[in-house]
Structure 1
Amino acid sequence: MTQVFYSSTFFGAMTLASAMDAGRFGPHTGRRILLVSGNASVPEVTPALDEAPGFAALRRRFDEVRSWNEVIAPLHPSDWKARIIEVPMLGRLLSSHLSLDDGVEELVLESIAVPPARTVAALIRDCPITVYSDGLMSYGPTRDPLPLEISGRITRLLHLDLVPGLTPLLLTEAGVPADPLPDDTFHHILTEVSTPPPPDQATYGNTGGPATHGSPGGAMILGQYLSALEIVTADEEAELHAGMLRALVARGHTNVLFKPHPAAGRHHARRLREVAAELGVELTVAGETVPAEVCFQTARPALVVGCFSTALMTAHRLFGIPVATMGCDIVLERLVPYENSNRIPVTIVDATVPRLAPDGSITDPPQTDLPGLVNAVGFCMQSENHPSLREAAARYIETHGTQARYFKTRRLTSVGLLPTPDPPKPKPLSRLRRALSR
């Protein structure tokens, strides 16, 4: 029998390797296939996951590594899904392409609610599904409803324990239990992929010279791809990165490592280099395919700054590195619709991570009941799928107030946590209007 694994990020592949080493998939007695997918806007010009430095350390755990992009080319993995009438035929073709005649023992997927994982689940049928999480989104509700032929096959959710004491909401509406992975196996994976240090990094700044890694004790900025998600404009995202860099300079940092998001392209780094040159800062830009966690392992930054990246939590939780956030207030205000799956990650970071100000000062966020907040926001996002959270959500709102930062009055009203306001009473007609109306 064959086990089929799917991953679109290096972090996800490391999570799979960690779960394997922890024995979550049993002994390696059958065939194991890893399907890799490049979901960047233009995947053709973005290095594939299995081409990343350090992937060789993970490859030995799989018998074959296959490209989902090549299977469905020239279609984009995030956009394409099989039509219902095509599923039987395309399922047979995929089974033949991957030589799955002996059957599939287990299908292991990330981001099950959307393509390409949802597409793969629809085509590889008649087997149990394990879902694994590669980030903070596991603590939020399932983004889109899943058909019973998929949700009924999911047996468990594997996840890193990034926020101790917080239980994932993902797939709980389908009765799927969460299974946290041990920290030590993930640390072991990081050691494997970090040796030797990643070679595809380059330094830019007032010196313009090359370097192979960031300066120990320096600071690190985590880039995301907020403009690609249409949360902010490209100029606003560039200014957010520039603001982080200026704040770090205000704190006395002269060596900064910038880690772009793998799906963001290179324009973020280009614009930040210009700001670094103006400030006289030595800026090191990590390679696109180098995971942030590898940078934590090799560069050991003194401070990591980002907006709401999952890597903020791995830096603090797994490496003990101080972290700070900037820009969560803008994202919380701009996220639409309310049920946007990024809402829980940004809520967790905003509520727990110290905040970096433009003058370089760092302040702790107000103390909050994080499980209560996450359950209340999760209920407001998907109230129909999580009716059992209504009482806890109402109790949180009653105790802490409506907190405009996290809740919209209109949303609270629509899910029944605030009473519907009475319609405004019509103003009495003036004598003239009365006379005219006769």
Structure 2
Amino acid sequence: MTQIIEISTQYQLANVAALIRSGRLGGDGNLGEADRLGDDRQRRILVVANNSFAPELTPAADAMPGSRGLLADFDLVVDWNAAIWPNHPKAFGISGERAPIMERALRREWGIDDHEPLELIVESLPGHPAGALTQIFSTAAISVHSDGLMSYGPVRNPLTLPQWQRLRAIFYTDLLPGITPRQLAEHTPDRVVLPTADLADVIDAMTAEVADDLATAGLDSPIDDSALVLGQYLAQLDLITAEEELELHLQMIDEVKDAGLSTVIFKPHPTSARTTIGPLRRRCEEFGLEFVLADVPLLAEIVVAATRPELVVSCFSTGLATAKGLYGCQTAAVGTERLLAELAPYQNSNRIPLTIIDALHSGRYELPDAPAGTVARNLNGLIDAVTYCMQPGSAAHLRGSAIDFLRSAIGGPDMKYFKRKRLTALDLPGQLQPPMHRKTLSAAKRHLISRAKRTQRVLKDYGITVDASKLKRNG
């Protein structure tokens, strides 16, 4: 059996390495050299896709600092962009007629016997590049590995019949203890949980590997009385304007000041513009805060592991969940309520991460494993309701849960997680009420009245005046 494991980010690579080392992907985790040379061992091929807008200018996950040690867990590392060049991974699909030809070519290129069974472990389905690999290797069993908080919500498009018939398992990191990801739940796959301690071990190993890079940036040891501000790239996603994004980041600095800390460590998002750095530095100077720039091509989790901040601040970054879950940091979320109001369309895949982060920082929600005696609400009901409203087709099994939650939420602050028009279209509690003059009329009666008025307008064009009430009575 050969496992073909596809990733596109370094965070995914770290999660997959943790799954391997803990034995959750089969085999014996970390194998000695003698074991690795055995004939019965499981062979693993890592397929690295660079999904960035300009992959020629952005390093792939396997080329980033901290990845070298993780690559030793694989027998072969494949550059997917090179394999499908000049196509981009996000746009490359393949027809049913050509898929067998490409499968045979890739098997030969990657040293896989024509009849050897395969297991695909890919990122989010059904989009590409994961979707293309399931098309090419059309008989391989399929599993999905998680990508942070997005795995707790639904996929945007339904799987094809050949995909869901071969779906076996979902591997996910336990960032929200007591919460089961809703991703592909309609197909009842096996759920394999990766404890955060196993991922922390991998992050610590990556941190040790990049010690020189951290030292050069002044990030190689804990920074006392500090807060890490994680920049986001919401303007590039057209979620807000560049001016609004700058204001959002300035509010994060305000949050640090209000927390009474003395140092801001600012880590810009790798793909964001660097135009916010100057204004943030000046805001820190105004407040008398020390400003440390962590503009390094490293995972946010590596910076947290090295500097051990007391507080991590962002908008709805998965880094908030990993900082708390892996290293016990306090966290703060800024600007989530405004984004909840503006995020469109409702089924935008960022909605579940945004909802989770806002809810957990609102003071009204706790995870199911919260200490006894807490009065906050369980987060599961909210996730069920939002998931159903996002994808009522694939999440039809959650309709009852959504109705129960919405009935209890009407008139309260939790209605900010929903759109009234969406609730109306789905006939859910909290929907818009029809005008008073329409409440007593059935749909059939309203149709007859509308048809009568149209007929009256047509006759009027010919100079004929007819009493509309007669049209209504005569149909």
- TM interval, shorter chain, is 0.7 to 0.9
Q: CA deviation at 1:301?
A: 0.6
Q: Which residue of 2 aligns with 1:131?
A: 144
Q: Distance in 2 between matches of 1:255 and 1:354?
A: 25
Aligned to 1:211: 218
Higher relative contact order (CA 8 A, sep 6+): 1
CA deviation after TM superposition for structure 1 residue 318, in Å: 1.7
Decide whether the 8 Å contact of 1:217 with 1:301 is kept in 2: yes
Pick aligned residue for 2:319 from 311, 315, 328: 311
Match of 1:431 in 2: none
Higher mean Cα deviation, 55-64 or 104-113?
104-113
Structure 1: which amino acid aligns with 2:255? A
User: What does residue 59 of structure 1 align with?
Assistant: 71
Q: Do 1:4 and 1:32's aligned partners in 2 also have CA atoms closer than 8 Å?
A: yes
Counterpart of 2:18, as a letter, is: S
Q: Which residue of 2 aligns with 1:413?
A: 424
Structure 2 equivalent of residue 74 of structure 1: 86
Matched-pair contact (CA < 8 Å) for 2:169–2:192: yes
Q: Secondary structure at the match of 2:106?
A: helix
For residues 223 and 324 of structure 1, what CA distance do their matches in structure 2 show?
Answer: 13
Does structure 1 residue 48 correspond to structure 2 residue 56? Answer: no
AA aligned opposite 1:13: L
Structure 1 residue 261 corresponds to structure 2 residue 283: no
2:359 is aligned to 351
Is 1:188 aligned to residue 201 of structure 2?
yes
Q: Which sits farther off after the overlay, 86-95 or 101-110?
A: 86-95
TM-score by length of 2: 0.80
Q: Identity over aligned residues, as a percent?
A: 36
The answer to whether the 8 A contact 1:325-1:354 is kept is no
TM-score normalised to the size of structure 1?
A: 0.86
1:124 maps to amino acid: F
Q: CA deviation at 1:323?
A: 0.2
Q: Which moved more, 1:250-259 or 1:302-311?
A: 250-259
Structure with max Cα Rg? 2
**CA separation of 1:387 and 1:12: change in aligned 2, threshold 3 A:** same
- 2-side partners of 1:113 and 1:132: how far apart? 13
Q: Does 1:160 align with 2:168?
A: no
Shift of 1:132: 0.9
User: Who is 2:231 aligned against?
Assistant: 223
Q: CA deviation at 1:54?
A: 1.5
- Mapped partners of 1:170, 1:307: distance in 2: 22
Q: 2:118 aligns to what SS in structure 1?
A: strand
Contact 2:196/2:325, CA 8 A, preserved across alignment: no
1:289-339: CA deviation from partner (whole Å, max 9, x where unpaired):
311111111110111001111110111122110000001112211221111
8 Å Cα contact 1:332-1:343 kept in structure 2: yes
Choose from 371, 374, 398 the match for 2:380. Answer: 371
Q: Distance in 1 between matches of 2:325 and 2:342?
A: 28
Q: Which amino acid aligns with 1:261?
A: H
Paired residues of 1:201 and 1:286 also in contact (CA < 8 A): no
Deviation at 1:246, TM superposition (A): 3.5
CA distance in 2, matches of 1:104, 1:315: 39
From 95, 101, 107, give the equivalent of 2:107: 95
Asked whether 1:140 is paired with 2:147, we answer no
> Residue type matched to 2:406 in 1?
I
What is the aligned counterpart of 1:339 among 313, 334, 347?
347
Matches of 1:279 and 1:286 in 2, distance apart? 15
Give unpaired runs (5+ residues) of structure 2: 29-40, 364-374, 439-463, 467-475
SS of equivalent to 2:181: coil
CA shift, 1:90, in A, is: 3.1
